[in-house]
Amino acid sequence: MADETLNNPVATKFESGKAHAIHAAEDLRAAAEAKAQELRAAAEAKAHELRGKAEQVYGDYRTRAHSFHEEGEQYVRENPTKAVLAALGIGFVLGLVFRR
């Protein structure tokens, strides 16, 4: 049967084509793995960059909130009557709004 394969040009071409297809599939798989690793590395770098920016923005807003809180406390200490009347007025308005 091996002699038939060697003497049959169709079988020889089939085996050659099969070997070529297997080699091409292996090359494609290797290229896909390399591209996947490249994309994974790029995604990790971008995630790290965005995380750094998010932490910076969070820190900035946290500092601002703390500053507003301190300024509010200072205002209430300096103007207790105005603060209480403002709180009562805001509470009254919100009560009317949510009542309807």
- DSSP code per residue over 29-71: HHHHHHHHHHHHHHHHHHHHHHHHHHHHHHHHHHHHHHHHHHH
Q: What is the mean pLDDT of the chain?
A: 90
* DSSP state, residue 82: H
pTM for the complete prediction? 0.50
CA distances from 33 to 21, 27, 30 (A): 18, 10, 5
Output the six-digit token pair for 2.
């091996």
The CA distance from 28 to 6, in Å, is 30
pLDDT digits (tens, 9 = 90+) for 54-100: 999 999 999 999 999 999 999 999 999 999 999 999 999 999 999 87
pLDDT at 47: 96
Predicted local distance difference test score (pLDDT) of residue 17: 87
pLDDT band at residue 3, thresholds of 50, 70 and 90?
A: low
User: Residue 39: what pLDDT?
Assistant: 96
- Radius of gyration for the alpha carbons in the chain, expressed in angstroms and rounded: 37
φ, ψ of residue 8 to 5 degrees: the values are: -95, 110
Domain layout of the chain by residue ranges: 2-99
